[in-house]
Structure 1
Amino acid sequence: MSIATRLTFWGVICTTGVVVASFVRVVTVSLIKYHGRKPHLLLESGCFALISVPIFVGLTREMATNTQFQLPPIEQAFVYTMLFHLFGVAIRKMSRPEDKIHAPAMTPMVQSKPTPPRLLDRIQGHNNAEIVHLTVDDHYVEILLSNGLRHRLLMRFRDAVAEMDGVPGHMVHRSHWVSHAAIRSVERDNGREFVLLNTGGKVPVGRTYRDTLVRVNLLAPRD
């Protein structure tokens, strides 16, 4: 093939590969996104090879008709294409680590004796401790204080959250509220995300509340 033909051939091959890889990535993510998991790399690479190999073979036969170029067996072409795609994914992961979860960047806030939340007035003997975690317990609300003590109040959960006015915090789950100052870090365990408290507690993150945590830089956005 002439130089112009070679440039055209490889340009078409590379462009086709990028388009097919992007299409496969979007489809595999969309199909399993509701499970809260990431696509399996072998599945993604297999789909890429399944779609792209026939295209590559057809283009090669069309553009290399007057050369002695020999196409490899179809099964070898399939394996080579999968390995090429896995290599590309590895390069992408190294340049943009999407699974890295780190402790939230806390901005120190200098306050002079902030007003305690109204909910704290319902707790006897709190000894000026701070409320770090609220959770639902049947018809009760369980309250965790910064000194490690727990209290149970008979009230609605949404009313308890409303009485935390003035305290920066986040709904991380439909049954959990946590104080922003009490968050130590965020971790992923077996495909699920958890907020770790400085008291040692571990609170699950609900899928519908994840975007709220992303907006305040407590979690990294997903692709």
Structure 2
Amino acid sequence: MARNRKRHKENEGMNESWLLPYADMLTLLLALFIVLFAMSSLDAAKFRDLAQSLSSVFTSSSGIMEYPSPNEQIVPDEMSSELHDTAAMNELEELIALQKRIDEYIQSHDLTNRLTTNLSGEGLQITILDDALFDSGSADVKKEAHELGVEISKFIVSDPPRHVTISGHTDNVPIHNAAYSSNWHLSVMRAIHFMEVLLENDNLEPDYLSAKGYGEYRPIANNDTAENRAKNRRVEVLITPNYDLKINEE
């Protein structure tokens, strides 16, 4: 009889052992239903308060508490890439339209022998031959060229602003005057002085403009003839896009 009572007590203890995990499961289910209900609500503030309260109880490193508010958008990598491609396409269309406007200005002012434009993956570049801006051996912008600089400054204004780099280039003939010690010196001073003309436009932000001088070291033609040397003496204005341009360059 005593044995039966002992076995009965042991069975009762074993039968009650399932209550603890069952209670935990019910608690988790209750928390899940509360969260699902909160997610169906449009009140993001209440959702965050609820999440914080429950997080203090459930301290697991991962789980339902880590999901964002229903009003917060999750952008997958694919969508982010698509948005970037769309922005890049808009940027390309804007630069194409800008190039067309500049080309029309060049044509209407009979500047085709002095100014050219080129659109590449780096951006939109305006090339100005040096005799349109400077006297031989000088870095001072000619008075008659000042208006040209003012007009170009209007073209490079944009919202949002784009970075613009002005670079000076020379031919390989050594310079012989007291003002400039080398072609490098001359080229960088020409870039700086032309940039100063552009910055007379108050709509341009100075921190988006920079000047460089390359001297004779980035020629676009052989320096074997006077005509080719004239091509190498130039100032380039590169308008850099805010997004990478996808242009097939051959």
**Fold agreement, TM-score > 0.5:** no
More relative contact order in 1 or in 2 (CA 8 Å, sep 6+)? 2
Alignment TM class, shorter chain as reference: under 0.3
TM-score, length basis structure 2 = 0.24
TM-score, length basis structure 1 = 0.26
Q: Hey, which of these two has a bigger chunk of strand by percent?
A: 1
